[in-house]
Every structure is written in structure tokens, then in C-alpha cells.
């Protein structure tokens, strides 16, 4: 039995890339200290935050070989357990971001019902390693680039845990690091604030400097029945009421909101205002900024927890970050630089590939140490388009980017830097890369020749694009169906402006049926289920220790099947899903001749009716 177990273990290790060694003891005579490895892929993505993850996964799903290089032990960047920043984006329910981000959030509902951050890390990790076309390198830092003329030929990277130097060759590269390490290629970039007159940005009142928005270090609290004073380290700041004695006037300007430090209540547990570094270099001065944020964070909790008014009674410090989350550092230059006016006018671009919906949220570079308001929000449209021309370099032909280092102004960044938006940018970047690699062209040529194809692919992958709707499959449009099902053929895969755009289905009923006058060949389907955008609890809580469980939305089908009606009039099950927890499902089955196809929902997560937004026959 032990021999069988050993054989199975060795086979598993080999399948995961491990190589057993039969050699003897290693010494300085027969063993190198550092290992050199050369890897190659079609698409190399630097940075494993939400933008990099979505770029890598989207490219891989479209048949591209990908190497994803992440300098941390976990994926997720600012959203990971290391930093625990909240994922935010558009503010209204009907505009909520879908695509790969929504898929990961729904997977988190299923595997992580208590919403523990370490499990959320591994939900993101699972999304990546489940793709056979992706090779993931964690704890690996890009250190240099190798150029071939104006293009990047390879990147050099170092894995500090494995003492391994990598030479990673590729055809196309994406910088999703936020800091823009692939600027080593000579790619044009800018850092800091433009002069207001350069783009006519009237929300920017000063500029022409290297100042940025700062970094934040978060605290995470938990509720408790006990109450104890908190003792901060000696090196922390020790605040008093005098440190927060200043006026906090509200804005009197329509559409403008002033924000201040929130040292009065732990209720929302949102410590974004523990912010510092905007007057410094958020890259080169990162160690000093990190220490200053630690001093502030411990001092703030000591002040709040021990305050005589008892404002934090019933709360304890559960976690304090060590790695600050960045808002701003470097921005690459693409053919278009997104600016305040683009955002406020709604972003009507011919080459739109993503969208945002956050405010123009400009944080003062003095941040925490400023007495008075530390950020100003300027109202934006409910959503605004972002063009493909912001996602590739103007002077390095095979360099793309996504995340907070896209081509935009400081003010443009203030609205696009939030993570739900950067996830959409990552998916657009990765899908654009797949088009470029499949067609054998550069990103600029994708923009010139294949932008419509790219947009169709994004919409098919459940990425809504502003001011247009998804094209429904020809087979679906040619079918006959009940009037109640017509909403499934309008290409609007969500509730919109008061219209439901979906169909409610009784479990076990005959379901949603399409028929044709003559038999047609069917080989798959595309389904969009209602994932209840108005449930904001999909995104990780700010309070850690909790016993409140979450589950997938109640109206989402948990199991279903697809049946086809054959020539003899009999119904045959051509696909059956025993467990579903995602919004988008693309399924395929052996081609079959049928004159009718139907979707039968057998169970939902809440036990009632299921709600379906799209049922396309392929």
C-alpha cells in the first residue's frame, strides 16, 4: 500500500512540474547557488493585481500562452490579504462590472462563505492556475528588459524564494504593475500632475509637479464583548484631540464633495484616510513611506480606542497592514491620454473597450498630515467609456498596459484607478493581446483593423461596453420563441433603466424553448444568469472576524440542463450542469441536428424561480 501511495505521489508531483532528484549530497562542487531558467510564451504579463490577473486569464482563454509574473506570494494586489483595499467601481447597480471580476466574486461566495481574506487570495489563485495556458511565477520580480530594436524581446526576473534567475521571452508584453517597471524599455511615461491648461482640466487647481496621491495602510477591526485599552509601540505617533481640531466645512459647490479624516467612529471600518507619500516618490521612497504609515496607523488606533468618549467600545484591532496600497505612481503614454473632460463627457470613444464610474476623486498630496480636507470628489456621469488607445504604448510597439498605469492624466487617473475598473481594463488588455497575437499584428494595428472584433469578443465574455449592446447569435435570432422570451434576444444582459431584460423560470418546468421550422445544427450555448448586481456584499468585508455567511444569489440557477428535440420528436439532454455558481457559462457539446432547444433550470440557490438574462444557441 505504501509503494502504491509513493507512486501516486510521484506521479502527481511530476504532473505539477516537480522533478525528483536521485543524485547524492549537494556541495559547492556540484551544485550552483543560483539557477538560470529560460521561459517563453506568446504573452508576458508583469503584475498580478486584479488588472494583471484579468489580462492573463482573458488572453489564456482565447488560446494564447501566458506567463504571469507577480512579485508577491499572493495574487490580487491591493485587493489581496496583504493590503485589503475595498474593490470599488461604478456606483449604481445596473452598471456593475461583470466579466472575470464578477466570476471571481461569485466563486468567492461559493468557496469562501465567511469571506476570509486568505481564502479570497486562493479564489483568485484558483482562477489563474485553472487555465492550462498560464504559467504563474509568484515571488518573482521583473528586473530588466531585453530589447530587439524598438520592441521588447524578453524580460529578466528574479525569484527570491527559489534563487532563480529567469529570462522570459515573449511576443507581446503587458505592464500591470501599477509602477510601470517595463518603462525600462524606453516607453514614454509621465508621473505627477499636469498643468491645468494642458488638457483644460478645471478640477485641477495646481500642477506641473511630481506630486501624486499617497499610499494607504489599512486597519481591520473586529467586534468583541470584551474591552481593553490599546498600547501602541513607542515609535508610533501619539495623537490628542488637538491634532484633529480644525474646521470640516461641507462643499457648497454642486457636484463637489469634500472628504476629511474619519477619526470619530469605527462603524464603517474604512481607514482610507491613513494616507501618506504624495509629496515623496511613491516608488523610490516606498520604505520610508511604509514606516510613516505604520506610525500613523498605530497612533490612530491608540487615539480612537482609548478615547474617553468610548467611541470604539466593543471593537478590537484584528489586523494592521504592513504593505501600503498605492493610488498613483507612473502612467504610460498611449495614443490617447484620458483626461478629466473625457471622463465628465461620458467617454464616447469609437474604440471603447472598458468603462469606469467612480468620481474624479483627487487626494491631496499632503494627505494625512494636512489639517482640513484631504480629498475632493467631483461628480461624474454614471459611467464613462475608456478607449483601447489608452492601453498600448505610443513608442514601444509590443507593449500594452492595464491598471493604474494606463495612459491618462493625473485627473483621469483619479477616476480610473479603482480596482473594479482596473479589472475591466485588464480583461480588455488581455483580449486585445489575444486578437493581436492571433492576427499577427501589433496593438496599434488591432485598433486600426480589428477593433470591432475585439469589442464583440469582450461583450461575448460579459464585459458591457458603453453606448452599445452585445450581438446575439444568428441561430438565436432565427428561432421562434414565446413572447415572454423575447427579452433574451435584445443583447442586454442585465436590468437596465427599469426594464428587466430577463426571464423568470420555474424549476423543473419546460423552461425556455427555441424552435426552428427546419432542423438546424447546434453545438453549444451561451448563458447569462442573474448574479444580483445590487448585492454589494460580493466584495470583501472590511470587518474580518464574522460568523455571517454569504451564498450565491438566490435566483441564480444552481443546476440546469439543455435539451434538444430530435427528428423523431424526442427530447435529448445534450448538456447537464449539476453545480453552477457563475453568471456567464459558455458550453459546448457534440454537434446535433435539432428543430428545438430548451433550457431547463432544475434548482436555484434560493429554492425559488431562476432568473436568466441570456440564452444564446451556437
Torsion of CA 525, 531, 532, 535, to 10 degrees: -170
| Lookup result for grid cell 477591526 | 221
Which of 302, 326, 350 lies at the terminal end of a domain, its last residue? Answer: 326
Going by C-alpha positions, the residue among 586, 612, 459, 613 that lies closest to residue 523 is 586
Q: What pLDDT, on a 0 to 100 scale, did the predictor assign at position 539? A: 79
> In whole angstroms, what is the distance from residue 121 CA to residue 81 CA?
7
User: Among 310, 326, 342, where does a domain finish?
Assistant: 326
pLDDT at residue 265 in the model:
81
DSSP assignment of 526-593: EEEE---TT-GGGSPPS--S------S-TTSEEEEEEEEE-TTS-EEEEEEES----SEEEEEEEEEE
Residue 102 and residue 79 in one domain = yes
Phi-psi region of 26 (alpha: psi -120 to 50; beta: other; left: phi over 0): beta
Residue 467 belongs to some domain of the structure: no
Residue 204 maps to a domain: no
- By CB atoms closer than 10 A (0-12, 13-18, 19+), residue 32 is exposed
Last residue of some domain: 293, 310, 326?
A: 326
Output b/e per residue, 368-391; b: 16+ Cβ within 10 A: beeeebbbbbbebbebbbbbbbbb
Grid cell locating 391: 492601453
Residue 25 lies inside a defined structural domain of this protein: no
Number of domains in the chain: 3
Q: Say if 205 falls within a structural domain.
A: no
Residue 266 lies in a domain: yes
CA distances from 578 to 522, 582, 603 (A): 21, 13, 9
pLDDT at 376: 96
Other CB atoms within a 10 A radius of the CB of residue 265 amount to: 11
Q: Is residue 31 domain-resident?
A: no
Query: Closest by alpha carbon to 365, among 327, 332, 403?
Result: 327
pLDDT computed for residue 8 by the predictor: 47
What global pTM score does this model have?
0.95
CATH number at residue 576: 2.60.120.260
Same domain? For 145 and 246 the reply is no
Q: Is the domain of 234 the same as that of 247?
A: yes
The ranges of the chain with pLDDT < 50 are: 1, 4, 7-8, 12
Contacts of 27 (CB under 8 A, 6+ apart): none
Per the domain annotation, does 200 fall within a domain? no
In 3D space, the residue among 159, 87, 161, 160 whose CA is nearest the CA of residue 117 turns out to be 87
Do 482 and 601 fall within a single domain?
yes
Cell numbers standing for residue 190:
509621465
Is 203 a member of any domain?
Answer: no
Distance CA 56, CA 38 (A): 19
Q: Are residues 491 and 453 in the same domain?
A: no
Cα 59 → chain centroid: 14
Of the candidates 145, 574, 20, the one whose C-alpha atom is nearest the C-alpha of residue 398 is 145
SS3 state of residue 453: helix
Neighbouring residues of 258: CB distance < 8 A, sequence distance ≥ 6: 248, 249, 250, 251, 373, 375, 376
Which set of grid coordinates corresponds to residue 160?
A: 527570491
The enclosing domain of 443 has a CATH number of 3.50.50.60
Same domain, yes or no, for 143 and 172? yes
CA distance 360 to 372: 19
pLDDT tens, 130-170?
Answer: 999 999 999 999 999 999 999 999 999 999 999 999 999 99
Relative to beta strand 557-565, strand 571-577 is antiparallel
CA 125 vs CA 41, 130, 134, 137: distances in Å: 20, 8, 12, 11
CA distance 337 to 392: 11
Tell me how long the chain is.
618
Tell me: do 344 and 418 sit in the same domain: yes
Q: What is the pLDDT of residue 17?
A: 59
The whole-angstrom separation of Cα 554 and Cα 560 is 15
Q: Which domain holds residue 541?
A: 474-617
**Which residue in this structure is represented by grid cell 513607542?**
234
Same domain, 333 and 311: no
Question: Domain check: are 349 and 420 in the same one?
Answer: yes
Between CA 452 and CA 182 the distance in angstroms is: 28
518 and 452 within one domain: no
- The CA distances from residue 273 to 8, 259, 300, 418, in Å, are 52, 9, 11, 15
Q: How would you list the strands of the sheet with 215-216, edge to edge?
A: 275-276, 215-216, 325-326
Assess whether 246 and 152 both reside in one domain. Answer: no
Give yes or no: residues 228 and 187 share one domain: no
Question: What is the reported pLDDT for 174?
Answer: 98
Amino acid at each position: 500500500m505504501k509503494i502504491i501511495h509513493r507512486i501516486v505521489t510521484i506521479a502527481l508531483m511530476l504532473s505539477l512540474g516537480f522533478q525528483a532528484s536521485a543524485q547524492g549530497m549537494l556541495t559547492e562542487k556540484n551544485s550552483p547557488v543560483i539557477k538560470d531558467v529560460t521561459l517563453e510564451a506568446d504573452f508576458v504579463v508583469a503584475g498580478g493585481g486584479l488588472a494583471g490577473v484579468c489580462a492573463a486569464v482573458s488572453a489564456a482563454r482565447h488560446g494564447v500562452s501566458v506567463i504571469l509574473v507577480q512579485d508577491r506570494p499572493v495574487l490580487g494586489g491591493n485587493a489581496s490579504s496583504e493590503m485589503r483595499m475595498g474593490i470599488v467601481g461604478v456606483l449604481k447597480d445596473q452598471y456593475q462590472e461583470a466579466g472575470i471580476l464578477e466570476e471571481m466574486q461569485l466563486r468567492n461566495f461559493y468557496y469562501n462563505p465567511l469571506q476570509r481574506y486568505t481564502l479570497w487570495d486562493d479564489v483568485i489563485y484558483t482562477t489563474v492556475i485553472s487555465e492550462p495556458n498560464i504559467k504563474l511565477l509568484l515571488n518573482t520580480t521583473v528586473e530588466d528588459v531585453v530589447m530587439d530594436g524598438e520592441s521588447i524581446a524578453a524580460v529578466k526576473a528574479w525569484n527570491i524564494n527559489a534563487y532563480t534567475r529567469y529570462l522570459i521571452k515573449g511576443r507581446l508584453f503587458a505592464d500591470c504593475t501599477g509602477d510601470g517597471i517595463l518603462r525600462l524599455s524606453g516607453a514614454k511615461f509621465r508621473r505627477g500632475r499636469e498643468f491645468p491648461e494642458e488638457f483644460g482640466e478645471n478640477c485641477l487647481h495646481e500642477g506641473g509637479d511630481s506630486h501624486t496621491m499617497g499610499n494607504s495602510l489599512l486597519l481591520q477591526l473586529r467586534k468583541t464583548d470584551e474591552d481593553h485599552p490599546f498600547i501602541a509601540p513607542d515609535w508610533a505617533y501619539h495623537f490628542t484631540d488637538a491634532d484633529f481640531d480644525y474646521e470640516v466645512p461641507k462643499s457648497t459647490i454642486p457636484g463637489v464633495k469634500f472628504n476629511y479624516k474619519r477619526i470619530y467612529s469605527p462603524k464603517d471600518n474604512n481607514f482610507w484616510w491613513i494616507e501618506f507619500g504624495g509629496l515623496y516618490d511613491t516608488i523610490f521612497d516606498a520604505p520610508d513611506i511604509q514606516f510613516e504609515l505604520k506610525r500613523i496607523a498605530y497612533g490612530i488606533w491608540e487615539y480612537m480606542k482609548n478615547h474617553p468618549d468610548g467611541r470604539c467600545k466593543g471593537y478590537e484591532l484584528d489586523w494592521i497592514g504592513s504593505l501600503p496600497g498605492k493610488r498613483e505612481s507612473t502612467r504610460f503614454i498611449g495614443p490617447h491620454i484620458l483626461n478629466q473632460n473625457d471622463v465628465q463627457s461620458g467617454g464616447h470613444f469609437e474604440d471603447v473597450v472598458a468603462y469606469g464610474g467612480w468620481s474624479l476623486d483627487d487626494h491631496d498630496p499632503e494627505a494625512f498630515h494636512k489639517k482640513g480636507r484631504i480629498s475632493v470628489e467631483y461628480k461624474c456621469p454614471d459611467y464613462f467609456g475608456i478607449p483601447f488607445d489608452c492601453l498600448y504604448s505610443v513608442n514601444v510597439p509590443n507593449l500594452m498596459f492595464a491598471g493604474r498605469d494606463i495612459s491618462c492624466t493625473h485627473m483621469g487617473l483619479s477616476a480610473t484607478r479603482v480596482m473594479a475598473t482596473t479589472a475591466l481594463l485588464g480583461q480588455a488588455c488581455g483580449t486585445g493581446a489575444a486578437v493581436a497575437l492571433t492576427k499577427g499584428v501589433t496593438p496599434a494595428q488591432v485598433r486600426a483593423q480589428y477593433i470591432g472584433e475585439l469589442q464583440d469578443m469582450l461583450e461575448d465574455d460579459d464585459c458591457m461596453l458603453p453606448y452599445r449592446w452585445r450581438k446575439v447569435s444568428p441561430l438565436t435570432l432565427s428561432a421562434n420563441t414565446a413572447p415572454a422570451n423575447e427579452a433574451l434576444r435584445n443583447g442586454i444582459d442585465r436590468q437596465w433603466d427599469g426594464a428587466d431584460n430577463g426571464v423568470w423560470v420555474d424549476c423543473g418546468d419546460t423552461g425556455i424553448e427555441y424552435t426552428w421550422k427546419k432542423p438546424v445544427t447546434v453545438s453549444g450555448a451561451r448563458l447569462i444568469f442573474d448574479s444580483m448586481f445590487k448585492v454589494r456584499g460580493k466584495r470583501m468585508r472590511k470587518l474580518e472576524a464574522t460568523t455571517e455567511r454569504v451564498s450565491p444569489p438566490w435566483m441564480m440557477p444552481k443546476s440546469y440542463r439543455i435539451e434538444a428535440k430530435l427528428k423523431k420528436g424526442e427530447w435529448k439532454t445534450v448538456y447537464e450542469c449539476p453545480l453552477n455558481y457563475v453568471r456567464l457559462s459558455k458550453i459546448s457539446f457534440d454537434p446535433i441536428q435539432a428543430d428545438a432547444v430548451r433550457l431547463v433550470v432544475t434548482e436555484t440557490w434560493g429554492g425559488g424561480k431562476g432568473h436568466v438574462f441570456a440564452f444564446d444557441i451556437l
